[in-house]
Amino acid sequence: MRTFAKLPMLWLLTVLLLLGSLGCSDGLLDEQAQQVIAGGGDSPEVRVATLDPTPVDVLDALAIDVTPGGGGFDVSVAVTAELVDTRDLYISVDYDANQNRAEAISFDAGAEGSVIGLAVEAEPGVIEFGATAVGADAVLPADTALMSFKLLPGGDERAVSAAPSSKRAMARNLELSQGEDGRWTLSWDYTNPGDNNQDGIVGVTDLTQIGQNFLAKVANSWDDPLRHIDSNHDGEINVTDITAIGQNYNAEIFSYQIEMFDELAGEYITVGQLLLGEQDVQPGQTVRFSYTFGPQYVERGWYRVASLDRDLQFGTPSEEISEQGRRVAPTGTATGQVATITVYANDLPHSISQLNCLRVVYPNTFSYVAESANVGSPGGARSAPDGIWASFASGVLFPDEFFFQQVEMGGGRLAIDFNVTTLLRDLPGAPVGYGDLLNFQLKSDSGDELVLEFQEVSEDGIWRTYYSDADVEDHFFGNAIGFSIM
């Protein structure tokens, strides 16, 4: 087993405090032999236990100090003997939350870029601590301070952590495909930011996967098995991905509910469910769910998935997908609010050499923001080939501003058409089918909800949302593109 690097070292650490959930705790382990206990008498009792996979015998090298000060007690945990063969150090610190509350939780240890760590209040009365090596074999020396916090008098009550509700926790990379037997299958990535070991709940031990894959490059591609560890989607596994663990601590996904939009009822109905435990989880690889429809499948219907925790609390539903495209669920806006819409390629089945036309449909209570259209990802020069174009195009032709006219669709809807052409028409096409195609802004004129769709063929029979490959053959995008809104 690999170990920690010797000092002197400049410690790379992240200190995150999450004010967590539920009631008090009287310790994660009941057997005193498996705990280090300090305090008692006039001082609050504080207990330390190991968390799996850290072995219990590590406790022999730990010490707790409880000292009066500042209207309460200063508590610290330190290593008293050299820890060898301890790549992952995970402990819980337990106190009586009916009598005390914790403040100023600090991760005090440090290393020369070879250790990352986290200290989090998992729930009142329980602080969880973790440190993991990110590189060479190492040793954690004796007399190393690990963490400290202050205990003040007064109980601590907080709300229970629930299913992850952030839009970053929406199921990603949806795919709707038809098999040789004619049945349709909906697939998507398990997405619970911070749950790097994909056991269903975010915890301190999710640090391990960041340490093991530190500085690895990651693509938002179904072919990249590490994409779930890059929780902020910046293309690299690094210290910033620890933030998601602290922000989403205890967030749980127990199952997914598959839903279909009922046009007559005007609402989503449940058509299936899958449990996380039913999926084939490969160590270190992103879990991918697949649900094959039976007779309940409706052609050209709209489908989505929503996560649930064990208490059946719902997370944020995914985007909606059908045979002909994708759309986002209604997004609330305020009058005058400006939304940035990015159209991205999810998994193009063919290379793309030019975007012939892309028609985006939205409510007529929104206005296109002049000069906001931009090739590829948000930011940068208006016609700079970034996003998917950066992978193969040295220059692109993007229409002048006057081209982006709002087209009346009827039924309270407007549309805008976009196209992008590479300057060198004999290019082989993008080598990968992932990346941002273009972005633009819409302004809310009335505070209505923003609903976005693609249109493939207009009423006059003209193709609208399609592209050409390297052989100048045309293809509808279908459900290989989607929206994101900021």
The CATH number fitting domain 330-485, selected from 3.90.400, 2.60.40, 2.60.120, 2.40.50? 2.60.40
Q: Residue 400 has what DSSP assignment?
A: -
pLDDT 10s digits, 51-63: 988 888 888 888 8
Q: Which CATH class is domain 32-153?
A: mainly beta
Strand partners, 91: 50, 129
Look at residue 366 in the predicted model and tell me its pLDDT.
Answer: 96
Rounded distance between C-alpha atoms, residue 318 and residue 309, angstroms: 16
Neighbours of 377 (CB within 10 A): 19
pLDDT tens by residue, 379-436:
888 998 888 888 778 889 999 988 998 999 988 999 999 999 988 755 565 656 678 8
d(CA 321, CA 343): 14
Helix (H, G, I), strand (E, B) or coil at 6: coil
List, for the chain, all residue ranges whose pLDDT scores fall below the cut of 50.
1-33, 111, 159-161
Run of H or E including 244: helix 243-247
pLDDT in the model for residue 173: 78
- Confidence at residue 430, expressed as pLDDT on a 0 to 100 scale: 61
Exposed e or buried b for every residue in 284-314, given b needs 16+ CB within 10 A?
bebbbbebebeeebeeebbbbbbbbbeeebe
Q: Tell me the CATH number for domain 167-322.
A: 2.60.40.10
**Quick check: helix, strand or coil at residue 184?**
strand
Alpha-carbon distance 419 to 475, whole Å? 14
pLDDT at 220: 57
Tell me: the pLDDT tens digits for 96-134?
999 888 988 887 765 455 778 888 898 889 999 988 877
How far is it, in rounded angstroms, from Cα 155 to Cα 124?
9
Nearest Cα neighbor of 115 from 141, 97, 93, 96 is: 141
Domain with CATH 2.60.40.10 in the chain: 167-322
pTM: 0.68
Partner residues linked to 79 by β-bridges: 62, 144
State both tokens at 94.
């337990």
